Structure 1
Amino acid sequence: MSLPSLSLELPPLALYVHVPWCIRKCPYCDFNSHQASNDIPEADYVNALRLDLQQDQVLAQGRKLTSIFFGGGTPSMLSAQAIGQILKDAEAIIGFEPDIEITLEANPGTFEQEKFSGFRAAGVNRLSIGIQSFNDRQLTLLGRVHGRDEALRAVGVARSAGFNNINLDLMHGLPEQSVAAATADLQQAIDLAPEHLSWYQLTIEQNTAFYSAPPVLPEEDILADIQDAGIELLAAAGYEQYEISAYARDKKRARHNLNYWEFGDYLGIGAGAHGKITLPAEDKILRLWKTRLPKHYLDAANSQKISTNLGGHQNTFGGGSDLLLPDGLPLEFMMNALRLTAGVPQRFFTARTGLDWQAVATPWQQLTQQGLVEIVQGAVRPTALGRRFLNRVLQGFMPLEP
């Protein structure tokens, strides 16, 4: 089923690189991560990533990369030399925009801190440090391999390594956490003066250890009080909430994540990596993903015999693909765009879905009357009330049952 014959535009292009190994699997994590029993096959994996990207090169359609994000797993388990080689390959195969943002997720453990200078020299210009909490008891409950002291030291090491764009990941709503404990954690993060804070609530996901043996989490009233107190604290410290769980100062927003939320395109390489690609010439938008298990991913690179058809595109590492159909596109677009406080330009809806605004005019009008969404200076966005009840807002764009 093709999209209506409206003009699809090629949006900006980003690259996601998945590194699937961890020192230890955290009990709340549902990402494609695997505990590394011994040394990871770094050289083989870097080679596989190169082959994967070479096969996806055609999907770039002449675009250069606006951002790269190394996620996982724990990307900082790779050496600086490996990260540098991946970046050289990406620049040679796809190309970089002059102001490209390159983010690497890192643990604050001493082992990773020793590599920070090497990562900066390799071309990484934004570091995202997964702290989660500054409370040693909470860190133990969360299965983290670092402690408070290492978390505090990591930011200083990153600054000394030359990073002037740092994100700290911090969770709230932790087991038995009080409002005072949550705000103390947040204040400690603010005192470290990162350019960006990802401050989000712990949720229990399926296929995690916490799902099988859930901890005692704060009650809803306490969670709401934590959220309100935290937002007030962040605003007073000069952090702008530009997305549900993202806060920036000095306009240092996460450009890679903004591309997701603005329904941009991204290539995904690595075991279990996902991508989204617009094909204007075919009136198509595709979701693609790569085979999930690291062993299978590496086997595919070694054999070069397995080839998967991903929406008409051949890739040795392909796990599968889906065509985004017109009836599901309004929800796909809105569940990204309406995460942003300022929203996105209304014209993006047609340019990046191929659908006329009339496809969402009725639910939009109903939600506007309920005070949940608005259009301000040409941007579609949620109201403050809409952000609080975003799931309810998104229900308005659900495709109708056949």
Structure 2
Amino acid sequence: MMLKGQRQRSPFSRDLERILARFDQESIALDAQRAGQGAAWSWDDEQDVRYAQHDSRLGNVLHIFHREWHGIRAAAGSLPGRKLVIPEVTLSEALLNVLALQIQDENPYRIIFHGFSANMASLIRWLHDAGLTDRLFAVFHGSPAQWWNEVERKFVFEMIDMAQNGYFSGIHIMKNGMELPNAPLFKPLIYNVSPKHGMKQEAMRKSDRVAAFVPGWNNWIKNVFGSAYGASLSEYVDEVWAFASGLELPFPMQEKLIILKPTNREETFERYLASRVTLNVSLIDCHPMVNVEAQSLGRPCVRSDLYLDQYEDHDYVKLVSVGHNNSPYEIRKTVEKVLDMPHKEIQDMVLDYQGKIDALALDRYAEFLKI
């Protein structure tokens, strides 16, 4: 599809570009290293494919995402298909041309851009001009409430503008009830899938001390202070584990708080297993990977209302949802309600729920991509 006023390049000129780009690829890479851009992108990096689910419908889908956006990278890494991680820092036009040619040569059946940046905008325009618009899709892992952030607002508005001007075959903004005029918006909610970590969903480990795990990053949106404070108020909880630097609690709750050093996802998975309950009582969220990861290991995650469009009547959701996400009392009572349940009963409930969500997520992606 061509936009008004655009000139279509001849097959000869595109082939010439391809030959010249390949001929000069080595010098371009050297220039990038001198500029401090190093290995600017990576195809199927180990950390992006080792936890991926398998679904034959999605095997030839290419997911493009940013190295710096850890939550989105984890979400994309769990999805079936090829993976391409790029930097958020703006690349040179020469490098972007080389990358765009690589993408075209890989010939994916569908291409999903997770998030947005100047680099993504350039790649989308290049692939659109190459006649691949029917393969291009965008997923924005955020909601309008997050548009208060100037950088995020700039990116999502540019993505919306491109969608309204015919650059995508489909776009999804990951919030139930989203509306977007004059764009190919996919309205059914797309869900994140759990990582295929292969770790045993074992029973609760016996321990003299009960730990609550609050792994979110330190931002008011994630309400890490509220989650940690609510958990620390419970007499059932001996320790509160968190990664967030700068997290502090008033005395005597501070004595329960243990700040962990972030390492890798395997050790984070081990923390889920070693704890009795995870908390992610966020103020604004879509379908957070903290919840999904904990649940994939059979561990409950106390959460705020996510307003999802399926399985909100599941017994697990009723158990872990906090009625008022800014109430320490409500958070504490929900933690205690979870800890009062027999371990095997809650594990079975968690795994049943997450299994249903994973199946729904893969079906929704296939529907979104028109596969």
Shared fold, TM over 0.5: no
**Greater strand proportion:** 1
TM range (shorter): 0.3 to 0.5
Larger Rg: 2
TM-score of the aligned structures, taking structure 1 as reference length: 0.34
